[in-house]
Amino acid sequence: MLRDSNVVPTVIAYNSLVNGLCSSGRLNEAKRVFDEMVSRGISADLITYNCIIDGHCQHGQWEEARRYFDAMLDRGVSPDTITFNILIDSHCKDGMTEDAWGLFKLMDKLNIKPDRITYDSMIDGLCLTGRLPEAVKLFDSMMDRGLKPDVISCNILMNGYCKGCKLDLCSYSIR
């Protein structure tokens, strides 16, 4: 529609369109819009990449999400905590904790501070894959870094204790 006019959309307009398409699962169309934006000389920004990475993660397309993440880095667009939260959470929910752990370590390498959401996702992923001791250690590390656990953080860990048949530790942690 706008291609045939003299109106050139901004990155903000493209971001809205990419986000809407990704949210509705229309990833091929989102990719076409992304490619059109770049071909028109409009650089994708952090929001563009976060939208398209999230869209692919939400639909289990890890390789595509990683391709966009790598392109983001190659083009000098710095990821933020939200970028990593998207990737880490979706990988953990799909049982890919080693990949998530690698991303968690990359955050440190890039001097990007994980937030409570990052820790919650990693702790949940570790619990879901039966790695309770590592989850507890990461929970303690979160507190050591000055991030106070909230009710979600505590529920994740208690759920991990319960699934790991560690009810005595679960009741101890509640106190």
Long-range contacts of the stretch 45-50 (C-beta < 8 A, 24+): 45/11, 45/15, 45/77, 46/72, 46/77, 46/78, 46/79, 46/80, 46/83, 47/11, 47/15, 47/19, 48/11, 48/14, 48/15, 48/18, 49/77, 49/79, 49/83, 50/80, 50/82, 50/83, 50/86
| Same domain, residue pair 49 and 133 | no
Mean pLDDT of 167-174: 49
List the domain range (segments joined by +) for residue 115: 79-174
pLDDT band at 88 (very low <50, low <70, confident <90, very high): very high
Q: What is the domain count for the chain?
A: 2
Last residue of a domain, one of 54, 78, 102: 78
- Res. 2: pLDDT tops 60: no
| Same domain, residue pair 73 and 86 | no
| Same domain, residue pair 86 and 123 | yes
pLDDT tens digits for 9-62? Answer: 899 999 999 999 999 999 999 999 999 999 999 999 999 999 999 999 999 898
- Res. 1: pLDDT tops 80: no
